[in-house]
Structure 1
Amino acid sequence: MTKPFQFKDRDVKIEKRETVFHGFFRMDKLWLTHPRFDGGQMPTFTRELFIRGDATCVLPYDPDRDEVVLLEQFRLGALGRKQSPWLLELVAGMNEEGESPEDVAQREGQEEAGLTFKPLNKICDYLVSPGGSTELIHLYCGRISTESAGGLFGMEHEHEDIRAHVFSADEAIAMIYDGRINNAAAIIALQWLQLNRPRLREGWS
């Protein structure tokens, strides 16, 4: 059996590319071809690509109290489904030019929840929807104290309206299984926490 990853970025030939929309987000149309697993070549085909920069997400966790902070805010993409469009999510923000993911984590922690992370533990990097989007998430768990956490936050000029909630780790994890938390970054981070809580509580306390 051939091992995976036999093809590289250089094997994709982009014959034409044009921007078809550029507003708050950007959409490009590409004409491309690439090798096939059977040794042939894919005929030229078109795809629309959603151009979105990388982002950083952080799960704030207090190992002494065994509590997490989750942010509630309105999300347009959740409209029209059988649920509230106000979601429970992680601290998150888009990476600006020249910023490291760790810089973004600390900036967004302050803006969205009044939190500083000491330390930050890398969970993973993952592609959000690689079938049609460029976005990559840098995912972390950050140590905080929940003693005075919670409240209303957000940047007015960015039209943010955020309520920070404190939950026990057990309750937050349970919300994955009953469907109250159904966004990828929060699910991945909380399931990672479920696996790593003993190590974090021993090493961070």
Structure 2
Amino acid sequence: MTDTPLPHPGSNGIPGVDAPDHRGRTGLHLAGRDLDRNPGVRIRDVELTSQGWHVLRRTTFDYRRRDGRWETQQRETYDRGNGAVVLPYDTERGRVLLTRQFRYPAYVNGHPDGMLIEAAAGLLDEQDPYTAIRREGAEELGIRIGELVPVLDAYMSPGSVTERLHFFAAPYTPADRTGAGGGVEEEGEDIEVLELPFAEALAMTRDGRITDGKTIMLLQWAALSGPFAPDRDSPGT
């Protein structure tokens, strides 16, 4: 969604700072001001530069270099909250569940049609990762997720994006289907559910048909040390 430039201070305050923004948020300029975990970093100022669905901040801080010198640096950070992603797998049939949907940022940056094949994912929206990814499984894939296997946590673009992504895998069977999936239409989602042989999905990461980073990571994990690893007696490898 489009970021909204902040208005100049007025009698009604600045949305997101001392007045509620369109999502009811205030104090967005305070994030990071009290950080003290790293003695080599001293936060000097946090400026809220824009807020739409997500938040853009410009932070000024002092950084102690390896040679002991202090220097003032400035960084912009894009805060979209944290997220979770899941790879449902059926070892009995050698299948995995993925999605395909239009991604404008990929389209504008060279992807042929912007239709990316991905593992189901979503923002936590103040839920814990387990609850959030079960919600996404129902909305996007139309399945009921029971057992969740934690795989890893990762910062996917730490140079500018604050998001921490929680990776999961989950066994499923055809009996776990609860609906067609496809996402939430009111949120603009139009998601195609793909059930693919695992071997085919893994091959797609090699030939360029799958270019989404989180999906590549989960499929490679499944092949190397997950449910389809060579030392496990399962089809689809």
Q: Whole-Å Cα distance in 2 between the matches of residues 148 and 53 of structure 1? A: 29
**What TM-score comes out, normalization by structure 1 length?**
0.88
Q: 2:143 aligns with which of 95, 115, 129?
A: 115
Structure with the bigger RCO (C-alpha within 8 Å, sep 6+) is 1
Letter paired with 2:214: A
Structure 1 residues 164 and 13: CA distance shift in structure 2, 3 A:
same
Structure 1 residues 146 and 78: CA distance shift in structure 2, 3 A:
farther
Structure 1 residues 201 and 27: CA distance shift in structure 2, 3 A:
farther
1:146, 1:166 within 8 Å by CA — same for their partners in 2?
A: no
1:77 aligned counterpart, secondary structure: helix
Whether 2:62 is the aligned partner of 1:38: answer no
Q: Which residue of 1 aligns with 2:172?
A: 144
2:143, 2:176 within 8 Å by CA — same for their partners in 1?
A: no
Q: Whole-Å Cα distance in 1 between the matches of residues 84 and 111 of structure 2? A: 28
Structure 1 residues 25 and 115: CA distance shift in structure 2, 3 A:
same
Q: 2:100 aligns with which of 61, 69, 72?
A: 72
More displaced stretch, 132-141 vs 191-200:
191-200
Q: Whole-Å Cα distance in 2 between the matches of residues 178 and 151 of structure 1? A: 29
Identity of aligned residues (%): 33
Letter paired with 1:101: P
Q: Which residue of 2 aligns with 1:87?
A: 116
Q: Which residue of 2 aligns with 1:106?
A: 134
Structure 1 residues 32 and 111: CA distance shift in structure 2, 3 A:
same
2:137 aligned counterpart, secondary structure: helix
Q: Which residue of 1 aligns with 2:186?
A: 157
1:68, 1:146 within 8 Å by CA — same for their partners in 2?
A: no
Q: Which residue of 2 aligns with 1:49?
A: 77
Q: Whole-Å Cα distance in 1 between the matches of residues 37 and 203 of structure 2? A: 40
Q: Whole-Å Cα distance in 1 between the matches of residues 219 and 180 of structure 2? A: 21
More displaced stretch, 171-180 vs 143-152:
143-152
Whether 2:198 is the aligned partner of 1:169: answer yes
More strand by percentage: 1
Q: Whole-Å Cα distance in 1 between the matches of residues 94 and 232 of structure 2? A: 10
Whether 2:199 is the aligned partner of 1:185: answer no
Q: Whole-Å Cα distance in 2 between the matches of residues 91 and 102 of structure 1? A: 13
**What TM-score comes out, normalization by structure 2 length?**
0.76
| Structure 1 position 201, deviation (Å) | 6.0
Q: For structure 1, which runs of at least 5 residues remain unmatched after alignment?
A: 1-6
Aligned residues: 194
1:151, 1:163 within 8 Å by CA — same for their partners in 2?
A: no
Q: For structure 2, which runs of at least 5 residues remain unmatched after alignment?
A: 1-35
Bigger-Rg structure (1/2): 2
More displaced stretch, 173-182 vs 71-80:
71-80
Q: Which residue of 1 aligns with 2:41?
A: 12
Q: Whole-Å Cα distance in 2 between the matches of residues 14 and 8 of structure 1? A: 11
1:44 aligned counterpart, secondary structure: strand
Structure 1 residues 90 and 63: CA distance shift in structure 2, 3 A:
same
Q: Whole-Å Cα distance in 2 between the matches of residues 63 and 52 of structure 1? A: 34
1:67, 1:146 within 8 Å by CA — same for their partners in 2?
A: no
Letter paired with 1:130: P
Q: Whole-Å Cα distance in 2 between the matches of residues 95 and 200 of structure 1? A: 32
**Per-residue displacement from partner, 1:74-120 (whole Å, max 9, x unpaired)?**
111111314220100111110022x2111011111001111122311
Q: How much is the aligned-residue C-alpha RMSD, in angstroms?
A: 2.1
1:28, 1:49 within 8 Å by CA — same for their partners in 2?
A: yes
